[in-house]
Amino acid sequence: MKRSTVLLICLALVIFLASPVFSDEPCVSSGLLTDNAVVLASGSGRLFCSALIITDGTNAATVTIYDNAVGAAGNVLFKGTVAGASNFGSGPVGGPVRVGYGIYFGISGTGAKSIVYYR
């Protein structure tokens, strides 16, 4: 009984560590974005990592990221607003988010910029 329990725990650990959520594959950067854009044109099974939101120092910046390859529709994967005086803020997702269709990036706010990180 003890041996089979240890074997099951080891097997579960191997499966857990081999899953794509914990892969060694690094996140990819979208580069600095200043306008709405398709970030990932086809993304079935990809993982969204995070977003950095940058303001102009005065105006608030809002970023919305959709699970969609063509426009601002579908499931919202992330929405974050940073106050203008904060200058920047990170958009932690709280864990990897599975993307089914692609990543569409929406941004609003005078002087707003952002970088999206994804797999």
What does the DSSP assignment read for 18-83? HSGGG-SPPPEE---B-S-EEEES--TTEEEEEEEEE--SSS-EEEEEES-SSSS-S-EEEEEEE-
- Predicted TM-score (pTM) of this structure: 0.77
List CB contacts of 56: < 8 A, sequence separation 6 or more.
Answer: 84, 109, 110, 111, 112
Report the pLDDT value the prediction gives residue 93, as an integer from 0 to 100. 60
Q: Percent of the chain scored above 90 by pLDDT?
A: 52
| Average pLDDT for the chain | 81
